[in-house]
Amino acid sequence: MKFNVASKAIIAVICGVSLLSCNKSDNYKNTSRATGWDINSKDGGFQYNTDFKEQDAAPGLVFVEGGTYTMGRVQDDPMHDWNNSPTQQHVQSFYMDETEVTNKMYLEYLDWLKSVFPPTQDNYRNIYYGAVPDTLVWRNRLGYNETMVTNYLRHPGYADYPVVGVSWIQAVEFSKWRTDRVNEKRLEKEGFLADNARYNSEPGTTFNTETYINSPTKTYGGNTELNQGKKVTDRLADVDAEGNPIKKVYAGRESGLIYPEYRLPTEAEWEYAALGLVGIRNYNIYRGRKKYPWDGQYTRNGDAKKMGDQLANFKQGAGDYGGIAGWSDDGADITAEIKSYDPNDFGLYDMAGNVAEWVADVYRPIVDDEFNDFNYYRGNVYTKNAINEDGTVEVVTSDNIVFDTLSNGKVVARNLPGEIAQVPVTEEDTYMRTNYTDSDQRDYRDGDKSSSRYFQPFQEIEDDPSKRMYNSPKYDNITYDDSTESVEARGYDKEKRTTLISNEVRVYKGGSWRDRAYWLDPAQRRYFPQDMATDYIGFRNAMSRVGSKSLSENKTARN
């Protein structure tokens, strides 16, 4: 009996100490180390998410833990492109779409555009039609593919097939839309936006993540009933006992609720993710080399149950896109339904075959690892928010949408209503900076005067097109005013050119259903104009990881 009493006393003491410890810990993290003031006080003051643990995977994404690898190490180079020099690169952790973006996912985007920016209205028409994929990419001069022209994008039979006919520019715009819709839903769930706000906005008004962060009252066209904010206190009344209004807050980045943007992966990220080297890691080294996203040097499955099956969807040979009827080599003749083949060691599907995929980078034959070997990317064009005279951000409205006419004649919106207008950074912004000096960095150390073989330090050289490293043909926007215009009058120069490389061509990676096995090597790289589309290039999204490099359950793993 005495033992039981003593045991209960000890347990009570331990529980009391634990509660005190927990309360002390909670008080500590909610007290400023700088001022001693309370953080997250119900009376107001500084609000900050002190309970944040780590970033969770946004819809559709899986975690890819970053690390070092050799980029551009191809096994074969029969094309002799000389655009792959092995370089050691380090990639930060990030998230990536488990599969390619599908027709159903893209149709949801088109449905939203049609609802919010009705194409029946003249000022919105080009927003919708500028986003519609080019289904005519399926046509062939000596082939009958009209079934895909009329059905591939919209028919339910192709719902979970990767979307194609999408240009790089359209893929980027889809990524922006996806960012806003995911953050909109999350903020609604947390009570910062009204219930079903995403369904109740007026046509032409919508939620934009950056607008919400910089000027939250301007979202939904200034409709504060939809963008209601959240009371600091837990009380339901709008005023306190003394009749003073209760302060409301909006979810900034410090809330931990807003996801980083969905975007196209960089070339370095895509290649690293496709290789899936984590599967052959042994302590701090890699065991051997991988030619494909799977282990081994062959494209057929070596497992007993699936012996001989192809591991990806690609062209087997001349006139052979899927094998003999009744026992298909890869189960597809054009694209295949997502998840038709096993994922790689990161859990990513179709990182070889099915469709090739756009990545973010501007193409150059050289990867300049001598300048940078950390999160390598070529394509930076730095901008800043446009500011009104009263100091507020300039939000695009239906009256000041800017449309661009691409080189192929397609008209696309530069910004959608509700987004913040962007302007290039200026010399004042870059004054005394050492890390960058101009807004447009696409040509840095590769194509500008300083990288030309004619360049001499401290000497001026004339801007001679024949002495440029990359002097592709130049096109002005196509006009339809006068069909009798000469080629020169339309803005095309007939001068001799040395290359098709320009700042408007983007890298795409991975083999496709049209490609031979050679292109399945993740290190292979090709390029295509950013405003054009094909029947074999699709895309998937990525998202940066903020905070720790590893997931919490992996932080202690060292084997």
pLDDT digits (tens, 9 = 90+) for 96-134: 999 999 999 999 999 999 999 999 998 899 999 999 999
Residue 264 above 90 pLDDT? yes
Q: Who wins on pLDDT, 19 or 394?
A: 394
Three-state DSSP at 91 gives strand
- The arithmetic mean of pLDDT across residues 333-362, rounded, is 95
Closest listed residue to residue 363, CA positions, set 526, 165, 251, 249: 526
Q: Who wins on pLDDT, 475 or 522?
A: 522
Is the pTM here over 0.85, yes or no? yes
Residue 485 above 90 pLDDT? no
Range scoring the smallest mean pLDDT among 131-135, 419-423, 479-483, 494-498: 479-483
The pLDDT assigned to 228 comes to 82
Kindly state the DSSP code that residue 57 receives in the 8-state scheme.
P
Residue 256 above 70 pLDDT? yes
The pLDDT assigned to 172 comes to 97
Residue 79 above 90 pLDDT? no
Side-chain half-sphere CA neighbours of 1 within 13 A: 0
Range scoring the smallest mean pLDDT among 70-79, 247-256, 294-303, 444-453: 444-453
Closest listed residue to residue 255, CA positions, set 56, 429, 50, 427: 50
For 202, counting Cβ atoms within 10 Å of its Cβ (0-12 exposed, 13-18 middle, 19+ buried), the class is exposed
Phi, psi dihedrals of residue 44, rounded to the nearest 5°: 125, -155
The pLDDT assigned to 302 comes to 65
Residue 241 above 70 pLDDT? no
Amino acid symbol at 480 = Y
Three-state DSSP at 125 gives helix
Three-state DSSP at 44 gives strand
Give the E-state strand segments of 248-326 in sequence order.
248-249, 281-282, 285-286, 323-324
Residue 399 above 80 pLDDT? yes
The pLDDT assigned to 481 comes to 44
* CB of 420 closer than 8 Å to CB of 176: no
Cα distances from 226 to residues 191, 465, 471, in angstroms, run 11, 54, 51
Structure tokens that stand for 31 in this block: 């007290």
For 344, counting Cβ atoms within 10 Å of its Cβ (0-12 exposed, 13-18 middle, 19+ buried), the class is buried
- The arithmetic mean of pLDDT across residues 76-80, rounded, is 75
Cα 313 from chain centroid (whole Å):
24
Residue 290 above 50 pLDDT? yes
What is the number of residues in the chain? 559
Closest listed residue to residue 543, CA positions, set 98, 186, 132: 98
Cα 307 from chain centroid (whole Å):
36
Euclidean distance between CA atoms 352 and 399, whole angstroms: 44
Residue 76 above 60 pLDDT? yes
The pLDDT assigned to 253 comes to 93
Euclidean distance between CA atoms 413 and 129, whole angstroms: 10
Euclidean distance between CA atoms 359 and 385, whole angstroms: 25
The pLDDT assigned to 295 comes to 74
The pLDDT assigned to 475 comes to 60
- The arithmetic mean of pLDDT across residues 495-513, rounded, is 85
